[in-house]
Every structure is written in structure tokens, then in C-alpha cells.
Amino acid sequence: MPVTLQQIEEGISALIVSRPQVRNALDWQAMDDFAAAVKRAHDDKSLRALIVTGEGDVFIAGGDLKALHGSSTVEDGWLLSRKMTNALNHLEALPCPVIAAINGPARGGGGEIALACDLRVVAADANLGFVQVTLGLIPGWGGGQRLLRLVGYSRALELLLTGRILNAQEMLAIGLANQVAPAGEAYLQAVELARTIGANPPEAVMANKRLLRAGITMSSTTAAAHEQSEFPALWASDAHQQAVKNWFQRRNVKP
């Protein structure tokens, strides 16, 4: 299978693109498999974190141009955009955090996949480029809007207009990376990040993701009201009550 969903341990799974012969670029079948893997992740109610990565020393090289260019009509362009836009919107909508383990070069659509994840762990020798403009294109899978939200208009426009390749430290400096891992260790560090997140009460983790997503998709007033509405049930939850009890016990303080 060119794209698989594999359980790493309880509550943590990895979506892995495995087409190393073409630097993990996606053809039509791989796109369908990617969407199907995301759907399976949605169906797994025990999932606490998902890691997205590519096999070997490459993240994802975007679309497989050789395989895709047998279909070059406007209608084919719509189909190509729709398939992966829908898949990445569905990935972004997962209730649990999604972590990209960028183990090597991410190009074009591969960068768009990385930006559809909530967090990005980048190997020190990895890099990323929105190179679509060099092929006479724009991002086709929603990456332009995600890049704009992450780095702002002027910087996003520069990256899209030049196709400049960013190294790991540059990605960290402008907010496209959350952590930089030693070369060859992006996946391992992403798993550790997933474990750290997964150690917290899942209802609180998912509520934190929901309230920030609300800030992207709603007006500021509506998002603030949504955030406030999340708090009362968590305050009364068993997880919060037990956590407070443990806090007092560790400090040998009576509530």
C-alpha cells in the first residue's frame, strides 16, 4: 500500500506515505489511499495523536508529475485539487492533534500536507519549499491560505512567488516548525511529542484544539464565546477533579 495507517502504541498512530521510488510523491491511487487513511483515523475513537510522515529520508514530494500528467485538462485540475483539498480538510478536522514528522525534503504539495497538520517536527537536515510557481502553478490543496495564517501576508507571498527553499532553522524562525530534531530523528521526536500530549486528559487536549480552530474559522466574538462554553464541563469533569486531588497530595496540602 502506498499510504498506510499504523498504530505505534495505544492512542498514537502514524500515517505513512511509502512511495520512495518517486520521493513519496502522490499519484491518483496514493491520493485515494491518503484520504482513506484519514477516514480510518477519524473512525478510531481511541486516537490521541496522529503523526504524518514519509518513508525513508524524504517527507513528501507533492504530486507525482509523471503519473498525473496523463490528465491535463481543466476538469483534471479540478479533480486533483478537490481530492487532496478534501483529504487535507478532513485531516485538519481530526479531533486529536496531528503532527508532521518532516524527515527530509517537503516540496509543493508535500509542504501543503505539512501545513495541514497542527504541529511540525523538522529534522535538522530537512527543508521545505512551495515550488508550485516554478511549474506555473499555485498551491492546489489549500496550502496558500494555511501559509498565510501561519506567517502573514508579506512573507507568505514572498515564499509563493519565489519558490524559495527553507531550511529547518528558517522554518523554526518564521513559525512553520515547532521543533527541530537531529538529522534522522524527526519521527522519533514526533512520537515523544505525541506521548507528552497524550499524557494529558484527552478531553482537555481536544478542547484546546477546538477552541483554537474556532479562532480560525469564526469571528473573534463567536470564537471567544465558544472558548468560554468549553470550560464549565471540563471544570466539572472527573479528569479535572482527579488532577486537582493529585496536585494536593503531591504537596501534602488539604483541599
For the segment 31-52, the average pLDDT, to the nearest whole number, is 98
Contacts of 136 by beta carbon, 8 Å cutoff, 6+ apart:
none
Contacts of 30 by beta carbon, 8 Å cutoff, 6+ apart:
2, 3, 17, 19, 64
Q: What is the pLDDT of residue 1?
A: 84
Asked if the model's pLDDT at residue 36 lies above 90, the reply is yes
The predicted-structure confidence for 93-141, as pLDDT tens digits, reads as follows 999 999 999 999 999 999 999 999 999 999 999 999 999 999 999 999 9
Q: What is the pLDDT of residue 71?
A: 80
| Portion of the chain with pLDDT greater than 90, in percent | 95
Residue 163 grid cell: 519558490
Contacts of 153 by beta carbon, 8 Å cutoff, 6+ apart:
none
> Structure pTM?
0.96
Q: How would residue 255 be classed by pLDDT, with cut points 50, 70 and 90?
A: low
The predicted-structure confidence for 189-235, as pLDDT tens digits, reads as follows 999 999 999 999 999 999 999 999 999 999 999 999 999 999 999 99
Q: Evaluate whether 76 touches 213 at the Cβ level (below 8 Å).
A: no
DSSP 40-103: HHHH-TT--EEEEEESTT----SB-HHHHTT--SHHHHHHHHHHHHHHHHHHHT-SS-EEEEE-
Task: Check residue 251 and give left, alpha or beta (phi > 0: left; psi -120 to 50: alpha).
Answer: alpha
Q: What is the pLDDT of residue 182?
A: 98
Cα–Cα distance, 9 to 205 (Å, whole number)? 18
Q: What is the pLDDT of residue 251?
A: 87
Asked if the model's pLDDT at residue 86 lies above 70, the reply is yes
Asked if the model's pLDDT at residue 24 lies above 70, the reply is yes
Q: Evaluate whether 56 touches 17 at the Cβ level (below 8 Å).
A: no
Task: Give the type of residue at 74.
Answer: V
Cβ neighbours of 244 (radius 10 Å): 11
Cα–Cα distance, 186 to 163 (Å, whole number)? 24
